[in-house]
Structure 1
Amino acid sequence: MASSSIHQDINVAQIAADIVCEFLEVAFHQILYIRQVYPPGIFQRRKKYNIPVQMSCHPDVNQYLQDTLQTIRPLVEKGEVEKVVLNVTNCQARPLERFVFEVTPPVQPSVNDDSYLLRLEQALRAFVLKINVCDSMLDTLPQDVTFSIHVYTQDSAAASLEQQQLVQNFPWVEADSDSLRMPNARIIPLKTMTSNVIKMQLYVEEGDKTGR
Structure 2
Amino acid sequence: MSTGRSSKQYEVAQVATDILSEFLEVAFHCILYVREIYPNTVFERCRKYNVPVQMCCHPDVKQYIVDVIQSLKPILDKQQVDKIALVILAADQNPVEKFVFDITPVSNPTLSEDTYLLRLEQALRAFLLKLNICDASLQVLPEDCTWAVQVHTENAALLGIEEQQILQEFPWIEADESQVKVENAKLVPLKAMTSPIMKMQLYIEEKSPKT
Would the TM-score normalized by the shorter structure come out above 0.5?
Answer: yes
Deviations 1:146-180 (A, max 9, x none): 10000111000111111111111101000011111
Structural mapping, 1:166-181, within 5 Å: 166-181=166-181
The AA in structure 1 aligned to 2:26 is V
1:133-152 alignment runs, 5 A limit:
133-152=133-152
2:204 maps to 204
Give TM-score, length-normalised by structure 1. 0.94
CA RMSD of aligned residues (A): 1.4
Structure 1 gaps of 5+ residues are none
SS at match of 1:124: helix
- Counterpart code for 2:21: C
Shift of 1:210: 3.9
Matched residue SS, 1:69: helix
Provide the aligned length of Structure 1 versus Structure 2: 208
Whole-Å separation in 1 of the counterparts to 2:32 and 2:97? 12
Give the SS at the match of 1:200. strand
Identify the structure with the greater helix proportion.
Answer: 1
The share of aligned pairs that are identical, in percent, is 49
* Distance (Å, rounded) in 2 between the aligned partners of 1:177 and 1:210: 19
Displacement of 1:112 in angstroms is 2.4
Q: Does 1:33 align with 2:33?
A: yes
Task: Indicate whether 1:96 and 2:96 are aligned.
Answer: yes
Distance between the aligned counterparts of 1:20 and 1:145, measured in 2? 27
Gaps of 5+ in 2: none
Aligned to 2:125: 125
User: Once structures 1 and 2 are overlaid, which stretch shifts more, 163-172 or 123-132?
Assistant: 163-172
Distance 1:68 1:157 in 2: 15
Counterpart Cα distance in 1 of 2:209 and 2:93: 12
Residue deviations 1:82-109 (CA, integer Å, cap 9, x gap): 0100000011111000000011222331
Tell me the equivalent position of 2:190.
190
Kept in 1, the 8 Å contact 2:98–2:182? The answer is no
* 1:210–1:9 Cα change, 3 Å: closer
